[in-house]
Amino acid sequence: MIRGGRTTPRRVEENTLTTYRIAVIGGTGPQGKGLGYRFAKHGHEVILGSRAAEKAEPVAAEVTERLAGVSGAGTVTGLANADAVAAADVVLLAVPYDGHDELVATLPLAGKTVISCVNPLAFDKRGAHGRVVDGGEGSAAESAQRIAPEATVVGAFHNVSAVLLWGDEDYLDEDVLVVGDVVEAKQVAMELAASVTSRVGIDAGKLRLARQLEPFTAVLISINRKYKVHSGIRVSGLGHAATE
Amino acid sequence: MIRGGRTTPRRVEENTLTTYRIAVIGGTGPQGKGLGYRFAKHGHEVILGSRAAEKAEPVAAEVTERLAGVSGAGTVTGLANADAVAAADVVLLAVPYDGHDELVATLPLAGKTVISCVNPLAFDKRGAHGRVVDGGEGSAAESAQRIAPEATVVGAFHNVSAVLLWGDEDYLDEDVLVVGDVVEAKQVAMELAASVTSRVGIDAGKLRLARQLEPFTAVLISINRKYKVHSGIRVSGLGHAATE
């Protein structure tokens, strides 16, 4: 499932991790840019995608500048979305839900491992809440899988704080929950999670559970507003079960 | 909103907490019995409700036996559901989702603070998943509020592990997320959470976000099956913002 993933080995404690070439669709938005920064910081090659290469390039330059002097950092470049996908092994969908389906349909995703962190949310005067996708029986990740049946879609990184991703802490005190129907694709996202949280992500079940992960972000947004914090999820009770 | 809540003060660190008289509907099930045990252990008076008093009484006796020698523990008794509600200030709905609406309609809930920890879940060979309530625009907690408009319903305790509730640890390493539209009612549940986790619960927003908390339990069940653990949610990033 890790199709064409390059295998430049990188030593992290006692593990060797694969270095991926990752297209970040929505790479100029806060979530995409922040995740791209974290992935590149840990040696992955990141291609920020946007509608036009000219929009992606200055953001890529900003991330590259931020990584100056970071030993072992990967490169960060900017391309138009479809070109970014064509150049990558792994595709991170980090776009707003509005227009998501139409955009996904334009991307050459066949054969790629696709990670969706798209959150279908709505906001009104009572705060954030989840949008109903397919009458409650769907999610952005499942929509992407349906639109791109020859890709392997997983859901992950829905709930990590964009502010903290771009912040100064080495790692975020959060867990990355990964859902999907193909174990090997989940493992890619679980491995990438270590760039963000220092721990591999947690296998949280089948792709349909993206219906739960995506709108949970509305709960965290509500907590953030109430307590003036940047909250995240940690899963307790795992002990060392989920650690490397 | 804390209508008729008795005010026998109990000192917990630097706070005085109210002692509540709590009816646990579904008090013979693992979640209800476990929460009832934890509440009584911390001085609250607990009335386990069941279809018939004869079913509730032996479970109340079992919990009472477990509390023997616990200094400051409250009493635990068993009654038929409607009688339990009539005798209580606070009602915990801890019933299966099947038959939930019909049962709620039979209870004299007017004027009560009602805490719903009901999880509308379904199970198939691919595991647990959320059931769609009201086309994705509802939740068990919102249904209870609609059926009992003169009660004040909040959602809380959805995700705490029944196994750990009945276990030997003094407190569960989890956070209790509380949603509701009435602050005073949320505060009751947040305060009761301290009996379970040692920390007050977290105000997680409006009642409609029960749509997110309820089916999130399916994610934790998936994690439990995968890793052979009893997982729970901790919210990171709060620092001392949400502590007493």
Beta bridge partners of A121: A130
Inform me whether the C-beta atom of residue B206 falls under 8 Å from chain A C-beta atoms.
Answer: yes
In this structure, how many other beta carbons lie within 10 angstroms of the beta carbon of residue A1? 16
- Total number of residues shown for chain B: 244
How far apart are the CA of B234 and the nearest CA of chain A, in angstroms?
5
Long-range Cβ pairs for the range A182-187 (8 Å, 24+): A182/A1, A182/A152, A182/A154, A184/A1, A184/A2, A184/A152, A185/A1, A185/A113, A185/A152, A185/A153, A185/A154, A186/A154, A187/A2
Average pLDDT over residues A42-60: 97
3-state secondary structure of B224: helix
Nearest to B209 among A173, A208, A219 (CB): A219
Burial environment of residue B65 by CB neighbours within 10 A (0 to 12, 13 to 18, 19 or more): exposed
Closest-CA residue of A relative to B205 is A222
Tokens 């991926």, residue located: A20
- Residue B11's pLDDT is what? 38
- Residue B241's pLDDT is what? 56
Asked whether residue B10 carries a pLDDT value surpassing 50, the answer given is no
| pLDDT tens digits, one per residue of B11-66 | 344 345 689 999 999 999 999 999 999 999 999 999 999 999 999 999 999 999 99
Q: Do B236 and A241 count as a contact with CB atoms less than 8 A apart?
A: no
| pLDDT tens digits, one per residue of B207-227 | 999 999 999 999 999 999 999
| Token pair in block for residue A64 | 């590259």
What's the rounded Cα separation, in Å, for the pair B231 and B223?
Answer: 7
How far apart are the CA of A78 and the nearest CA of chain B, in angstroms?
32
| pLDDT tens digits, one per residue of A16-45 | 568 999 999 999 999 999 999 999 999 999
Query: Which value does ipTM take for this structure?
Result: 0.91
Give percent of chain B with pLDDT exceeding 90: 90
Closest-CA residue of B relative to A163 is B237
Interface test with A, best of B160, B234, B240, B244 (most A CBs within 10 A): B234
Average pLDDT over residues A132-155: 97
What's the rounded Cα separation, in Å, for the pair A194 and B119?
Answer: 31
- Residue A18's pLDDT is what? 86
DSSP E strands in B134-200: the ranges are 152-155, 177-180
Average pLDDT, chain A: 92
| pLDDT tens digits, one per residue of B60-79 | 999 999 999 999 999 999 99
| pLDDT tens digits, one per residue of A103-139 | 999 999 999 999 999 999 999 999 999 999 999 999 9
| pLDDT band at residue A239 using 50, 70 and 90 as cut-offs | confident
Inform me whether the C-beta atom of residue A202 falls under 8 Å from chain B C-beta atoms.
Answer: yes
Q: Do B231 and A232 count as a contact with CB atoms less than 8 A apart?
A: no
- Residue B239's pLDDT is what? 79
Q: Do A237 and B127 count as a contact with CB atoms less than 8 A apart?
A: no
Strand arrangement, sheet containing B113-116: B76-80, B45-50, B21-25, B90-93, B113-116, B152-155, B177-180, B202-203
Residue pair B28/B55 in contact by the 8 Å Cβ criterion: yes
Nearest to A229 among B164, B230, B239 (CB): B239
Domains recognised in chain A with CATH numbers: 14-243 (3.40.50.720)
| pLDDT tens digits, one per residue of B134-178 | 999 999 999 999 999 999 999 999 999 999 999 999 999 999 999
| pLDDT band at residue B243 using 50, 70 and 90 as cut-offs | very low
Give the CA-trace dihedral at A216, A220, A221, A225, to 10 degrees.
150
Inform me whether the C-beta atom of residue A236 falls under 8 Å from chain B C-beta atoms.
Answer: yes
| pLDDT tens digits, one per residue of A73-96 | 999 999 999 999 999 999 999 999
Average pLDDT over residues B82-98: 97
How far apart are the CA of A149 and the nearest CA of chain B, in angstroms?
20
Interface test with A, best of B209, B224, B229 (most A CBs within 10 A): B209
Residue pair A198/A160 in contact by the 8 Å Cβ criterion: no
What's the rounded Cα separation, in Å, for the pair A32 and A86?
Answer: 18
What's the rounded Cα separation, in Å, for the pair A83 and A102?
Answer: 17
Interface test with A, best of B178, B213, B227, B240 (most A CBs within 10 A): B227
- Residue A126's pLDDT is what? 93
Considering the entire predicted model, what is its pTM?
0.91
Interface test with B, best of A228, A236, A244 (most B CBs within 10 A): A236
Nearest to B219 among A133, A174, A209 (CB): A209
